[in-house]
Amino acid sequence: MNNELNIISPKTSTERDVLHDLEQLREQAPLVHCMTNSVVTNFTANVLLAIGASPAMVVTIEEAPEFAAIASALLINVGTITTADAHVMLKTAEAATAHGTPWVLDPVAAGAIGFRTGVTHELIACKPTVIRGNASEILAVSGEKSEAKGVDSTASSQDALHAAALLAGTTGAIVALSGETDFITDGTTAIPVPGGHPLMTRVTGTGCTLGATIAAFLPVSSTPLQAAATASAIYARAGKDAATGNEHRLGSFAVAFLDRLSSMGNS
């Protein structure tokens, strides 16, 4: 399939598109319902507030499906999933799809362990709008796992892009593949988003909060493809800018990253 994949040059998602989407997001302040992992709840809320969205972490069975129906967008991240979480996430995903709430699935470490891989496949059957993951995760959930080495994060971009396009084609979801260059694909075309900085992999949650940021753009961007491209472009720029002068200063880098997200387009 990737032989037929049309790689769109970065220019198709222009600086103007990105800033326009960001302006729209700040104006509309979409309510982003997050069911995410216990490591990144605080950082996720602060990232969403920094870009101008309104985060809400609602996680119990009595509330989450009901809330997904009224939220502007939903994020489901399986990073620290428990038995009970799996049940609530499935019911919430069903509710989101039933009520037309766009949602992002982040299959953290899928493929590495049996339980979450099974839950991830059940969640994919609930029709996420976007699936975001790194090369290993996308390879694993696409069923192309056998070509890679389990959770091998050094899986080649080419293999992973093929798998991402395949996953998009079979599920109907936009797939946002994170890496040195991010790729956003609908199965037939792919938008590369270069940039970012290696330091982003050394602060916990930069991937997970990108998933939340994509969710935030879903209600305001023209298409899910554009939402994922905008979110990735904003992240790449904030990460690169925040790294300046903070090469071996991970605490300062994380603070600067939030600073950059909140100042972008404002200063």
The residue ranges that bind a copy of itself (CB under 8 A) are 37-43, 45-46, 49-50, 55-63, 66-67, 79-85, 109, 113-116, 202-205, 248-252, 254-259, 261-263, 266-267
Nearer to a copy of itself, 43 or 235 (CB): 43
On whether the CB atoms of residues 209 and 43 are closer than 8 A, the answer is yes
User: Annotation-wise, does 26 bind a ligand?
Assistant: no
Nearer to a copy of itself, 80 or 189 (CB): 80
Q: Which is nearer to a copy of itself, 229 or 231 (CB)?
A: 231
Residues 206/200, Cβ–Cβ less than 8 Å: yes
Strand 174-178 to 6-7 pairing:
unpaired
Is 132 annotated in a binding site? The answer is: yes
Task: Judge whether 77 and 106 are in contact, CB under 8 Å.
Answer: yes
Contact 85, 77 (CB under 8 A): no
Q: Are strands 182-185 and 189-193 parallel, antiparallel or unpaired?
A: antiparallel
User: With respect to a copy of itself, which residue has the nearer C-beta, 170 or 247?
Assistant: 247
111 is in an annotated binding site: no
In the complex, what is the shortest distance from the CB of residue 267 to a copy of itself, in angstroms, rounded to a whole number? Answer: 6
Q: For a copy of itself, which is the closer residue by CB, 6 or 83?
A: 83
Residue 2 CB, nearest distance to a copy of itself (Å)?
29
Alpha-carbon gap, residue 165 to 169, rounded angstroms? 6
Q: Using DSSP bridges, classify how beta strands 31-35 and 174-178 pair: parallel, antiparallel or unpaired.
A: unpaired
CB of 142 to a copy of itself, least distance (A): 21
Residue 57 C-beta: closest distance to a copy of itself, Å? 5
Minimum gap (Å) between residue 228 Cβ and a copy of itself = 23
Query: Nearer to a copy of itself by C-beta: 12 or 122?
Result: 122
Whole-number minimum distance, CB 94 to a copy of itself, in Å? 18
Is 260 annotated as a binding-site member?
no
Which one, 79 or 187, has the nearer CB to a copy of itself? 79
C-alpha distance from residue 235 to each of 32, 100, 159, 176 (Å): 18, 26, 24, 13
Shortest gap between Cβ of 38 and a copy of itself (angstroms)? 5
CA 89 – CA 82 distance, rounded (Å)? 10
Count of other CB atoms within 10 angstroms of residue 117 = 18
Q: What are phi and psi of 31, to 5 degrees?
A: -85, 110
The residue ranges of DSSP E strands in the chain, in sequence order, are 6-7, 31-35, 54-57, 73-77, 103-106, 130-134, 174-178, 182-185, 189-193
Report the binding-site residues for substrate.
Answer: 57, 205
Report the binding-site residues.
Answer: 57, 132, 178, 205
